Amino acid sequence: MRVCVVRLGGMGDILLATPTLRALAAHFPGSTIDFVVGPGMEAAVTGLPYAGRILAFDRKKHWGKGLPGFVKTLRADGRYDLFLNFQPSLKTLTLMALSQPQQTIVFKKDRRKQAATGRVRHAIDDFAKELVPLGITVTDRQLDFFVPEAARESLAAKLDLSVPYIAINPAGTRDINRWPPERFAELIERLVGAGRRVLLLGGPGDLALASEIAGKTQAPVENLAGKLTVKELGALLERATCVVTGDTGPLHIASAVKAPIVCLSGAADPDRTGPTRPGDLVVINRELSCVPCQARSCKRGDIACMTQLPVDGVWDAIERRIR
């Protein structure tokens, strides 16, 4: 069975769909799942045993005049038996139609509170519900992320891995999902003062943020922002004593490699996109009536859900998680 799945967006958006795709592959042994992802997101699925071709759809390059060429590449091996559109939009629906698959499934996001739980459905389960018409039930909710041995070796060449460490990811796609730099600096001071080794993480776009945090503390923190590939990040997270992060891509990589997690949450609803593995902890201030708003920007204007998260609360969560 030949399958194509479209899931653009960020790293976490893709990883949250992997339990569904793994179940699909298991239900149809020998099937091939081709992925269409956003540019720069190929590493999210590279190396997965059920992944076939991985194509990057660049909206600027492949929409409009570039679309026929992309469709030709997509259909190089013939029509798909099943096309999963996990990010419906004008562009992806057009791509789906032009690829002329035998069968289509279009994801319908459901953020309603579920009667059985009183909570919103987690994104993992929201994707999984789309396979029910195929007679497939997703029972294993573990995320997938492949770390090649080459990434472990290159990480070891960059970093002393003999000393345990706590990994801190201060970045987030939006300001509303970020804990203040001064709070991270205070947390690092306390961790290092307690004898913990701390690694500060971030992508190429997070250099200024990581430098600001490192500059606010006298503690010896190792700033790795912009120095790791995505696969090396996975290799680092899988060895971490604990990963402290907001609700963003590295959270889901950490969950996939089964790292102990403390997630700092405010606007993002942990019931929807938070960690799901036993023992992982979420620090959230539910005393604020607007939490979690799931908005892209703060209507109050003060991002109180993050700025008011106390260092003591995060410290306590780390201590509980690593016991």
Contacts of 140 (CB under 8 A, 6+ apart): 19, 22, 23
In the sheet with 103-106, reading across from the earlier edge strand, the strands are 51-56, 32-37, 2-6, 82-85, 103-106
Q: Establish whether the linkage from the previous residue to 270 is cis, with ω within 30° of 0.
A: no
pLDDT value at position 174? Answer: 86
- Per residue of the chain (323 residues), give pLDDT as tens: 999 999 998 999 999 999 999 999 999 999 989 999 999 999 999 999 999 999 999 999 999 999 999 999 999 999 999 999 999 999 999 999 999 999 999 999 998 989 888 899 999 999 999 999 999 999 999 999 999 999 999 999 999 999 999 999 999 888 899 999 999 999 999 999 999 999 999 999 999 999 999 999 999 999 999 999 999 999 999 999 999 999 999 999 999 999 999 999 999 999 999 999 999 999 999 989 999 998 989 999 899 999 999 999 999 999 999 98
Residue 109 burial (CB count, 10 A): 12
Beta carbons of 55 and 44 less than 8 angstroms apart: no
pLDDT value at position 116? Answer: 85
> Which tokens sit at 219?
């503690």
Question: Using only C-alpha atoms, what is the Rg of the chain?
Answer: 20
Q: Under DSSP, is residue 80 helix (H, G, I), strand (E, B) or coil?
A: coil
- Using CB atoms within 10 A of its CB, is residue 195 exposed (0-12), middle (13-18) or buried (19+)? exposed
Domains of the chain: 2-134 (3.40.50.2000), 150-322 (3.40.50.2000)
CA 170 – CA 178 distance, rounded (Å): 7
Tens-digit pLDDT profile for residues 74-94:
999 999 999 999 999 999 999
User: Which candidate, 235, 257, 262, places its Cα nearest to that of 179?
Assistant: 262
Tens-digit pLDDT profile for residues 22-43:
999 999 999 989 999 999 999 9
pLDDT value at position 173? Answer: 84
Residue 167's beta-bridge partner residues?
199, 243
Q: Which residue type is seen at 219?
A: A
